[in-house]
Amino acid sequence: MNLFYSPDTRGDTLELDPQESRHMVRVLRMKAGERVQLVDGKGGWFEAEIEDDDPARCKLKILTRLSGPDPLPYVLHIAISPTKSADRFEWFLEKATEIGITEITPLICHRTEKTRLNTARLEKILIAAMKQSLRAFKPVLHAPVTLTEFIGANHRGTLGIAHCISPDRADAGEPGRNPEQVHITRLAFDRSYTLLVGPEGDFTVEEVRAALDAGYTPFHLGGARLRTETAGVYICAAISLQSGTL
């Protein structure tokens, strides 16, 4: 199935952006009168007919709203440090979208090496992954923020931070300050998660302490040391499995 994307499905007709138009007309060689399916990234799934097969501004007439896939039965917000290699962070966005995620925030930490992102390119990756996996919901990509700004905001549900720092270093000798890390599958299951993933080189001790003081539960992903982007995908898969959707 070829699925197309338009964020604005108000009214009876719509115009695809140049990229979607070109793909439909130039690549797939679709013509006026043919029927297609499209999503709006907000849960809407539609059947439409091509009215004008202009490869720059293809116009569609919406025929009916179809029954698309249900939204995720949980909210998963991952705040993750961008990797030095752009393609690895893009790989995370693609795979996280395919598995299931609702919000992503690029997290600027002390050891983050890449702080400038090509947001337009990242949005295209999210859209492509949404269509490829036949989803009707596009994850929300927030603007990059510092760790201090993020943990200072009001986030709901289960709060967690994945890190590789030993408890004796994280609590700096203060008994009871750092609770024991639990495996991700043992986090409180309340259908809403806000989880932190650090940069290559991990969070600093001070950053972990700040997150713990803000109410974040330390968790781990097993015995292997994972790359940042792998950890993010692991989290998506673990939450999806725990909820029974994967």
Q: What is the pLDDT of residues 20-48, one digit of tens each?
A: 999 999 999 999 999 999 999 999 999 99
Q: What is the pLDDT of residues 58-116, one digit of tens each?
A: 999 999 999 888 899 999 999 999 999 999 999 999 999 999 999 999 999 999 999 99
> In the listed set 17, 36, 66, which residue is the last one of a domain according to the structure?
66
Are 22 and 85 members of one domain?
no
Q: What CATH number has the domain bearing residue 124?
A: 3.40.1280.10
Q: What CATH number has the domain bearing residue 60?
A: 2.40.240.20
Q: Are 197 and 78 in contact (CB under 8 A)?
A: yes
Are 107 and 215 members of one domain?
yes
> In the listed set 21, 48, 66, which residue is the last one of a domain according to the structure?
66
What is the Cα 169 distance to its own chain's centre? 31
Average pLDDT, the chain: 92
Pairing of strands 59-66, 13-15: antiparallel
Are 123 and 144 members of one domain?
yes
Are 148 and 192 members of one domain?
yes
Are 37 and 83 members of one domain?
no
Q: Tokens 């338009």 map to which residue? A: 6
Are 23 and 112 members of one domain?
no
Give the per-residue pLDDT at 168. 58
CA distance 83 to 121: 15
Cα–Cα nearest to 123, from 136, 110, 109, 142: 142
pTM of the complete model: 0.91
Are 133 and 94 members of one domain?
yes
> In the listed set 49, 66, 83, which residue is the last one of a domain according to the structure?
66
175 confidence band (pLDDT: 50, 70, 90): very low
Are 136 and 213 members of one domain?
yes
Give the per-residue pLDDT at 156. 86
- Cβ-count burial of 73 within 10 angstroms (0-12 exposed, 13-18 middle, 19+ buried)? exposed
Query: Which tokens sit at 179?
Result: 């609770």
Are 58 and 143 members of one domain?
no
Percent of the chain with pLDDT over 70: 94
pLDDT at 174 exceeding the cut of 50:
no
CA distance 183 to 163: 11
Are 177 and 82 members of one domain?
yes
Structural domain range at position 236: 75-243
Number of structural domains found in the chain: 2
Give the per-residue pLDDT at 1. 76
Are 96 and 55 members of one domain?
no
Are 56 and 164 members of one domain?
no
CA distance 153 to 35: 45
Q: Are 70 and 211 in contact (CB under 8 A)?
A: no
Q: What is the pLDDT of residues 177-211, one digit of tens each?
A: 456 889 999 998 779 999 999 999 999 999 999 99
pLDDT at 223 exceeding the cut of 90:
no
Cα–Cα nearest to 77, from 163, 213, 191, 228: 191
Give the per-residue pLDDT at 124. 96
